[in-house]
Chains A and B, each alone.
Chain A
Amino acid sequence: MKRIISLVAAGILCLSLAACGGSGSPAGGQEGDDKLVVWTLAEDLKDFAAYYTEKTGVEVEVTVIAPADYPTKINTTLGSRNSDVDVIVGEPQMLADFYDAGFFADLSEFDAAAKDKLVNYVYEAGKDEDGVLRALSYQVTAGSVIHRRDLAKEVFGTDDPAAIGEKFGTFDAIRQTAAELDAAGYSIFGDTGALRWFANADSPWVKDGALQMTDARLDYFDTAVDLYQNEYVAFAPEWSPAWYASMAGPLPVNAGWAALEELDANAPTTQIFSYAMPSWGALIVRDNAADNKGNFGVAKGVCSFFGGGTFIGVNEFSANQEEVKKFVEFCTLNEETAQWWLEESDGDVVSMKSVLDANKDYENPSFGNQKTYEFFAGEASAVDYSLVTRYDTAIGDAFGRAIESVQKGEKDKETALNDFYMEVQSVYPELTVPQ
Chain B
Amino acid sequence: MHTIETVKTNLIKGVLYLALILLALLCLIPFWMMLVNSTRSGNEIMTSFSLLPGTSLADNWKLVTDNLDIFKGMLNSLFIAVCSTILVSYFSALTAYALACYNFRGNKLLFTVMLVFMMVPAQLGLLGFYDLCNALGLVNSYIPLIVPAIASPGTVFFLRQYILSVLPKAILEAPRIDGANELVIFHRIVLPIMSPGIATMAIGAFIGSWNAYLVPLVLLNKPELSTLPMMIASLNSVKDISNNIGATYLAVAMSVVPIIVVFCFCSRYIISSISAGSVKE
Contact = CB atoms under 8 A, between A and B. Distances in A.
A218 interface: no
Contacts of B237: 40-43, 64-67
B142 interface: yes
B141 A19 contact: yes
B49 interface: yes
Contact of B236 (A66, A72, A241): A66
Given A82-B134, A85-B221, A22 B181 contact: no
Interface stretch (A23-31, A159-167, A391-399, A410-418): A23-31
Contact of B47 (A15, A18, A260, A284): A260
Interface in B197-237: 213-214, 217-218, 221-226, 233-234, 236-237
B46 interface: yes
A67 B130 contact: no
A262 B49 contact: yes
Interface size on B, as a range, is 35 or more
B278 interface: no
B238 A43 contact: yes
Nearest to A310: B239
A19 B83 contact: yes
A69 B240 CA distance: 17
**Most chain B CB within a 10 A radius of its CB, from A8, A15, A22, A79:** A22
B207 to A, nearest CB: 20
Given A16-B143, A41-B237, A72 B214 contact: yes
B169 to A, nearest CB: 21
Contact of A67 (B126, B183, B236): B236
Contacts of A241: 46-49
Interface string B114-153: 0000000000001100110010011111110011000000
Contacts of A308: 239
B48 A260 contact: yes
Interface string A51-74: 000000000010111110100110
Interface string A266-298: 000000000000001001100110000000000
Contacts of A112: none
A84 B218 contact: no
Contacts of A260: 47-49
A66 B142 CA distance: 21
Contacts of B141: 19-20, 22-23, 27
Contacts of B47: 241, 244-245, 260
B131 A80 contact: yes
Q: Is the interface of B mostly helix, strand, loop or mixed?
A: helix
A23 B217 contact: no
Contacts of B221: 29, 37, 63, 77, 82, 84-85
Given A5-B183, A65-B234, A66-B233, A16 B147 contact: yes
A288 B47 CA distance: 10
A23 B225 contact: yes
Contacts of A79: 127, 130
A61 B218 contact: no
A129 interface: no
Given A19-B143, A64-B234, A280-B239, A261 B48 contact: yes
Given A16-B147, A65-B233, A27 B139 contact: yes
A29 B143 contact: no
A18 B75 CA distance: 13
A284 B243 CA distance: 10
Nearest to B243: A287
Contacts, number: 141
B227 to A, nearest CB: 11
Contacts of A22: 76, 79, 141-142, 225
A288 B43 contact: yes
Nearest to B237: A64
A259 B141 CA distance: 44
Contacts of A26: 137
Contacts of B223: 61, 63
Interface string A299-320: 0000000001000000000000
A426 interface: no
B242 interface: yes
Contacts of B138: 27
Interface in A71-102: 72-73, 76-77, 79-80, 82, 84-85
A76 B218 contact: yes
Interface string A193-226: 0000000000000000000000000000000000
B176 interface: no
Contacts of B48: 241, 245, 259-261
B87 interface: yes
A427 interface: no
B144 to A, nearest CB: 9
A1 interface: yes
B187 interface: yes
B110 interface: no
A18 B83 contact: yes
Given A69-B233, A72-B218, A287 B134 contact: no
A29 B236 contact: no
A247 to B, nearest CB: 9
A16 B240 CA distance: 42
A1 B186 CA distance: 11
Interface in B166-182: 180-181
Contacts of A43: 67, 237-238
A23 B47 CA distance: 43
A24 B221 CA distance: 13
Q: 10 tightest A-B contacts by CB?
A: A23-B141, A259-B49, A66-B233, A64-B234, A27-B137, A84-B221, A1-B184, A245-B47, A80-B134, A244-B46
Given A20-B141, A66-B236, A84-B222, 18 more contacts: A1-B181, A5-B183, A19-B83, A19-B142, A24-B222, A24-B225, A27-B141, A29-B140, A64-B237, A65-B237, A69-B213, A69-B214, A73-B218, A77-B139, A79-B127, A239-B241, A245-B47, A284-B239
Interface of B: 43, 46-50, 67, 76, 79, 83, 86-87, 90, 126-127, 130-131, 134, 137-143, 146-147, 180-181, 183-184, 187, 213-214, 217-218, 221-226, 233-234, 236-243
6 contacts: A23-B225, A41-B237, A72-B214, A260-B48, A284-B239, A287-B243
